[in-house]
Amino acid sequence: MKILRSVKGMHDIVDEEIAKWHYVETAYRQHVERYGYREIRTPVLEPIELFVRGIGEATDIVEKEMYTFMDKGDDHLALRPEGTASAIRSYVQHAIGAKEAQTKWYYIAPMFRRERPAKGRYRQFHQAGAELIGVSEPSADAEIIDMAVRYLSDLGLKGIGVQINTLGGSESRARFREALVEFLLNRETDLCGDCRRRLHVNPLRILDCKVPGCIEISRTAPSGLSLLSQEDREHFDAVRRLLDRWGTPYELAPSMVRGLDYYTRTIFEVQVESDALGTKSAILGGGRYDNLVAELGGKPTPTIGYAFGIERLLLVLGETARPKSPVLVFVAGVGEEGGVRAFDVARNLRGFGIRTEVAYTEGSLRSQLKKADRFGATFVVIAGAEEASRGSVTLRDMSTGEQVEVEMDVLASRIGASR
Ligand code: AMP
């Protein structure tokens, strides 16, 4: 029979890979919870309108990459391509703003985009992110950037480059858009087909186009920084002062715009120099989106957040992401009575939080030791009838082959001490 395979661009996470996932996910949870973030989980499916309104109709994600379908009840649904729109939908739906003045949420979840699959680019991928809702102060921007960068550097990630820019608030952004359109109209015929259309619907996106001719034009385009309102400038300066004070590395990227429509004021990206992904590669992106809550039907509420791709992070971490594997004990029962006693011993050790395997099938001690070796056991506990009469077992250290008789009462603490 034909073997069925997973959908193109969507992968199983198995074997030693899963330990790496647990490692980065656990480190992420512990890290952001120290800053007061709580987890939020939202559905994988959302009404398509959420992303059209939230991310923007003229973005690549909405125009070209979303998985959308009509369900059997004729509801138009989309697999979520990112986490922020869903988080904000949830925030508005449950009137969280009426209950608390500031909300800190984080998530780790699968996302779906129908991009051309490549190394580090998948159709189902996973993002971990954070949203700080209800705080407009520049300290929120600086703290969340610093939180993200510290997470990555604590993992041991090398070659981190943080780029920041500001798009300004609505007014500054409108001024920038006007200046940009004026500049680009004179060069319209040199733009690619996509950008000629973007010029009329979403000109800022042109600065993000990867076509060489468009990159060349963007290089001389007016900078948004010179068109900022005084308030927007002061906000950005304050963010930078804090980052400088903490020694958080960053560089200014005046032409960075980011791919989603909802950003205002501070935006940032983390890139990593890595052979695994080829040259410089973006692994994290975020920014402020002060209009998004209102656009999704809530009261105007300032918000800032980011997300990074876990697959890309693991690729660039490479061998650095090798978690220390915990002690594994294999309990070998010898003879019929020993076979039963092996399960008593395993239950006892698991009760002390020790990872323990038992042989389900009877066999000679020799064959059980072989089995323990295949499992990668650190210790083997031999539960034989003779030791049973003394209330003890034999503990074998698999790395040295050394064996000692140990009383059951102290077995767990003895193994625990070696962790
Ligand atoms: P974005 O939501 O587009 O700002 O992306 C944020 C991060 O998600 C990127 O920096 C990547 O690390 C990751 N990412 C985005 N798209 C993909 C994809 N198709 N495959 C794997 N990771 C992705």
Task: Give, using CA atoms, the residue closest to atom 21 of ligand 1.
Answer: 121
For residue range 202-213, list pLDDT tens digits in order: 888 888 888 999
Considering only CA atoms, which of 163, 165, 115 is closest in space to residue 311? 115
Ligand 1 pocket test, pick from 8, 11, 21, 127 with the greatest ligand atom count within 8 Å of Cβ, gives 127
Residue from 10, 308, 310, 315 to probe ligand 1 pocket by mutation (most atoms less than 8 Å from CB): 308
What count of residues does the chain have? 419
Please tell me the distance between residue 137's alpha carbon and the centre of ligand 1 in angstroms: 27
Phi then psi dihedrals of residue 378, to 5 deg: -80, -40
Q: What is the DSSP letter of 81?
A: S
Average pLDDT in the chain: 92
Token pair of 119, please? 């190394």
Confidence (pLDDT) at 259:
63
Cα–ligand 1 centroid distance for 274 (angstroms): 16
Sheet containing 403-407, strands listed edge to edge, beginning at the edge strand earlier in sequence: 355-358, 328-333, 379-383, 392-397, 403-407
CA atoms within 13 Å, Cβ hemisphere of 132: 23
DSSP conformational letter for 352: T
Instruction: Tell me, in angstroms, the distance from the centre of ligand 1 to residue 278's CA.
Output: 16
The alpha carbons of the chain give a radius of gyration, in whole angstroms, of 28
The pTM score is 0.89
Query: What atom in ligand 1 is closest to the CA of residue 123?
Result: 19
Distance 122 CA to ligand 1 centre (A): 9
Residue 321 has pLDDT above 90, yes or no: no
The tens digit of pLDDT for each residue in 171-229 reads 888 888 899 899 999 999 999 998 998 888 888 888 888 899 999 998 888 888 888 99
Mean pLDDT of 91-105: 98
* pLDDT in the model for residue 275: 80
**Residue 282 CA, ligand 1 centroid: distance in Å:** 8
Q: What is the per-residue pLDDT for 93?
A: 98
Average pLDDT over residues 12-33: 94
List pocket residues of ligand 1, CB cut-off 6 Å.
Answer: 82, 113, 115, 120-122, 125, 127, 259, 282-285, 307-309, 311-312
pLDDT range class, residue 324, cuts 50, 70, 90:
confident
H-state helical runs in 167-229? 170-185, 193-201, 212-219
Residues 229/264, Cβ–Cβ less than 8 Å: no
| Alpha carbon of 283 to ligand 1 centroid (Å) | 7
User: Rounded CA gap, 184 and 178, in Å?
Assistant: 10
Ligand 1 centroid vs 309 CA: distance in angstroms? 5
Matching residue, tokens 């608030």 = 169
The token duo for 280 is 């410089």
pLDDT tens digits for 225-274?
Answer: 888 999 999 999 999 999 999 999 999 998 888 766 678 899 999 999 88
Q: Rounded CA gap, 60 and 114, in Å?
A: 10
DSSP state string for 93-141 = HTTHHHH-S-EEEEEEEEEE--PPPBTTB-SEEEEEEEEEES--SHHHH
Largest CA distance in the chain: 94
Q: Indicate which atom in ligand 1 lies nearest the CA of residue 120.
A: 21
Above 80 in pLDDT, residue 278?
A: no
The DSSP-derived string for 104-116 is EEEEEEEEE--PP
| H or E element at residue 372 | helix 365-375
Number of the ligand 1 atom closest to the C-alpha atom of 312: 12
Q: Cα–Cα distances in Å, from 279 out to 68, 159, 268, 311? A: 33, 11, 19, 17
**Residue 65 DSSP class:** I
pLDDT digits (tens, 9 = 90+) for 335-369: 888 888 999 999 999 999 999 999 888 889 999 99
Ligand 1 center–CA 125 separation, angstroms:
8
